[in-house]
Structure 1
Amino acid sequence: MSRKALLGGLYLGETLGFLKPHPSNTIGAFLHRSLFRYGNVFKSHLFFSPTVVSCDQELNYFILQKTRGKLFQCSYPKPIHGILGNVSMLVAVGDTHKRLRNVAISLVSITKSKPEFLNDIERIAVQILNSWKDKQQVMFCEEARKFSFNVIIKQVLGLTSEEPETGKILEDFLAFMRGLVSIPLYIPGTPYARAARSRISSRVKAIIEERRSRNGRSCGVRNDFLEILLSVDTLSEDEKVSFVLDSLLGGYETTSLLMAMVVHLLGQSPTASEQLKLEHEQIRSSKERDEFLNWEDYKKMGFTQNVINEALRYGNIVKFVHRKALKDVKFRDHLIPSGWKVLPVFTAVHLDSSVHADALQFHPWRWEVINNINIKILDV
């Protein structure tokens, strides 16, 4: 082995093996081999750092529970910071993250409480479904992405799909997304370099300034997410821009992937598909023809929620998260040294037959049993 290859191996460790693509309903060759050799918790060298990998349900829960305390903090690789910026809620830590998170919860709660929120989503869904009428074939994953983006851009910036600015933001955002999952080489022409946050940030700032100017001219205040965001005095200008970008990032890819996963899995389970259809028809039949669905209608969709839960478990859209130990942490027989990266791997727990019976089967009805157990625990 050459000196260059050896240094590269020491620097990258087992990262390439850990990230090697594999079906989302499997744990992949790297985890399969490591679990067999070392058990549910093992040490490695990933993302340029000594790392503890946890495939243990209790330890994962402990890590996530203690992230907001003094034991662990978010610790995404530096190239991610280079794209997201240091004031993004996704990479902020400590008191800054706590402050941003509290504002985010408040903003989302206010936005979701407005009737227009669900009405806009339903209108966009119907609009996209109507666009399929004259098509012999549709690429559902692309249509799901279109739906997700149109919903987010309407809720966050008050823009519709027909407005020219929407297309420009989508173009910048897609470049932003490609860079986020690319090799971090800041060389002109590479996806990472083209993902520079400045371009999409400048466009969002221009929209914010235009909104402020419009409000100053007394042209009517729009009661949407951006309007509420602008009224928050505890956020800097950069933090407000980051909130918009985080909203786009947080809702675009994961939401569209989940929708595509649900459709794919229901296509392989006619019984689940029929039960889901029946639930929706019963709720729809209780409404007037042109009446919008409301939150009470969605709360009645118990089986729909079971399907979503099972698709999240079986499809593993988010496979793991990045954390770092802030001090030596002892959990059972495991010691996590201070400064080490910690990766709670959700996939391994989701597909663990000791946690979920017949874990490799798509079975939405399992959540009826889990929900009943949780209700009984709460009653006690």
Structure 2
Amino acid sequence: MAGVLVYVLIFLLSLLSCITKRRGKKELYKGVKLTPGSTGWPYIGETLQLYSQDPNVFFAEKQKRYGEIFKTHILGCPCVMLASAEAARFVLTQAHLFKPTYPKSKEHLIGPSALFFHQGDYHMRLRKLVQGSLSLDALRNLVVDISAIAASTLDSWNGGHVIDTFQEMKKFSFEVGILAIFGHLESHYREELKKNYRIVDKGYNSFPTSIPGTSYKKALTARKTLSKILSDIISERKEKRLLEKDLLGCLLNSKDDKGQVLTDDQIADNIIGVLFAAQDTTASALTWIVKYLHDNPKLLEAVKTEQKAIYKMNVEGNQPLSWSQTRNMPLTQKVVLESLRMASIISFTFREAVADVEYKGYLIPKGWKVMPLFRNIHHNPEYFSDPEKFDPSRFEVAPKPNTFMPFGSGVHACPGNELSKLEMLIIIHQLVSKFRWEVVGSQNGIQYGPFPVPLHGLPARFWKESTI
């Protein structure tokens, strides 16, 4: 905990210039109704309170005290928190009033041309390209290959040795990401991408300093290496003039209204961006699914019954899992949705007001961060009865509009949400049809890095069992 506090204090000091600029604007808001709430200590705000406890508890207590719209001051910036479905929808769908915002340090590691750092025409162009490469028609052709990756991943767990479930799920989701981006990539490229991506991933949430030997400095160096590897892959693809329909193919073959193609740097930034967006969030959700099924034996048996019926049919017919079968797993589909609601991997998102905005009689000043609190919405008893209970049957009826947003909403919603859900269905099918498992040690507790995962990555043992 001491290390975290030191990191936060250093980070806040690096943002003092931003805060100083804000001080000169106080007079502008005198007499105007700002949202209720507390901004904590000067400069530090309430960052230490946020990071010294479960963030979900911090936000829940704020909501209980101030209501569904309240202000705070964290990570060097004044913020407005939104815990109602209506307010979240307003912010996420008004792209002209609220822009995505990320620290520059993260832009440097992913690449400034990645689609989620932008809005407007460039953003829409890139979003359509990513969505096109991950459309349902495109995913239909990936089922067999994703199934093979899932089978290989699970086989490596067999034997009862303790594994870190989250880290293993990260390996799985990374391989699926490579498949969706490049198709069947040559092994030496895959290994080089994997090695350097891990270094970038490790430095992504570290303190952003260029001091040699630090995680962030190592990540910057590895990011340059990734650019070189991607440049080689792009050059090779151009030379062969292949018209592949994977993401790389879509990016290479795209032209705007003026006939301009994307630069190699733009393509590389968006490839890295998709890998980042696809890996940790999906791996976190998969880890929670393993835990929720483990903790609910009756539900696990019901899911096994559904999946083993499919498995038996395929074994007897000597057929692989099909796209149509993944679309006909009603109970498993509900388990996925309830896991996304319960875990709320993306607990909140950052936007920034590009102008003074009035909402519900309150002023959201220009430059303030605005944070829709997805987890608070997903755990609101007005929207989901007994919200702390894991109950897939609640999704037998569609949730009220704007109350279930595991992949965000509006023009910046995750374009890879269907791929993510497909990964979950496929690995659940393989897992419950062929394996049994037990969680090792404490089964409770959550860690944040930054996405919530079960404590210690959910250590567990897996054994292959007789099938059919």
TM-score by length of 2: 0.70
1:378 match: none
Which among 212, 234, 239 is matched to residue 266 of structure 2? Answer: 239
Deviation at 1:139, TM superposition (A): 3.2
Residue 155 of structure 1: CA displacement?
A: 2.7
Counterpart in the other structure of 1:153: 178
Task: Report deviation, 1:123.
Answer: 0.9
Aligned partners of 1:155 and 1:224 also within 8 Å: yes
1:44-67, Cα deviation, whole Å (9 max, x unpaired): 222322211112221012111223
TM-superposed deviation, 1:286: 3.6
**Residue of structure 1 in register with 2:230 after alignment:** 204
Q: In structure 2, which of residues 143, 165, 171 is the aligned counterpart of residue 118 of structure 1? A: 143
Map of 1:176 onto structure 2: 200
Give the structure 2 partner of residue 186 of structure 1: 210
Contact (CA 8 Å) 2:352, 2:367: kept in 1 or not?
yes
Provide Cα deviations, 1:248-292, integer angstroms capped at 9, x if missing partner.
111111111111110001111112212211221233344354312
The equivalent residue for 1:75 is 101
One-letter amino acid of the structure 1 residue matched with residue 247 of structure 2: F
Q: Cα deviations across residues 142-169 of structure 1 (Å, max 9, x unaligned)?
A: 3212211122222322356x92332221
Following TM superposition, the consecutive aligned residue runs of length 4 or more in structure 1 with deviations greater than 4 angstroms are: 4-9, 220-223
Cα distance in 1 between the residues matched to 2:127 and 2:333: 25
Q: Which residue identity lines up with residue 335 of structure 1 in the other structure?
A: L
| Residue identity opposite 1:130 in structure 2 | D
Question: Please, which runs of 5 or more residues in structure 1 have no aligned partner?
Answer: 375-380
Distance 2:338 2:69 in 1: 25
SS at match of 1:86: coil
Per-residue CA shift, 1:59-110, capped at 9, x if unaligned? 012111223xx22111122222222222111212222212211221122228
Q: What amino acid sits opposite 1:15 in the alignment?
A: T
Secondary structure in 1 matching 2:72: strand
In structure 2, distance between residues paired with 1:150 and 1:43: 41
The answer on whether the counterparts of 2:140 and 2:323 sit within 8 Å (CA) in structure 1 is: no
Corresponding position of 1:144: 169
- Distance in 1 of aligned mates of 2:192 and 2:139: 29
Q: How has the CA–CA distance of structure 1 residues 209 and 354 changed in structure 2, closer, same or farther, with 3 Å as cutoff?
A: same
Q: Which residue in 1 is equivalent to 2:249?
A: 227
Q: What is aligned with 2:279?
A: 252
Corresponding position of 2:371? 343
Is 2:113–2:266's contact at 8 Å kept on the other side of the alignment? yes
For residues 170 and 355 of structure 1, do their structure 2 counterparts lie closer, same or farther at Cα, with a shift above 3 Å needed? same
Offset at residue 327 of structure 1 (A): 2.1
Q: Gaps (5+ residues) in structure 2?
A: 1-8, 17-40, 257-261, 402-468
For residue 101 of structure 1, the aligned residue among 127, 141, 158 is 127
Contact preservation (8 Å) 2:111, 2:272 = no
1:272 corresponds in structure 2 to 299
Is the contact made by 1:111 and 1:224 (CA closer than 8 Å) also made in structure 2? no
Root-mean-square deviation over aligned CA pairs: 2.6
Distance 1:159 1:181, change over 3 A: farther
Match of 1:27 among 56, 62, 85: 56
CA distance in 1, matches of 2:385, 2:93: 25
State the distance in 1 between where 2:263 and 2:189 align: 24
CA contact (8 A) 1:159 1:166 kept: no
Amino acid at match of 2:46: E
Could you tell me how far 1:140 is from its partner in structure 2?
A: 2.4
CA distance in 2, matches of 1:314, 1:367: 12
Q: Which amino acid is the alignment partner of residue 174 of structure 1?
A: R
Rounded Cα–Cα distance in structure 2 between residues aligned with 1:322 and 1:133: 40
- The aligned counterpart of 2:290 is 263
The count of corresponding residues between Structure 1 and Structure 2 is 358
CA contact (8 A) 2:181 2:246 kept: yes
After superposition, give the CA deviation of every residue in 1:309-364 in whole Å (9 maximum; x if it has no partner).
Answer: 11111112111111011222222233212221101111111222222111111111
Query: Could you tell which deviates more after superposition, 260-269 or 150-159?
Result: 150-159
Q: 1:316 aligns with which of 311, 324, 344?
A: 344
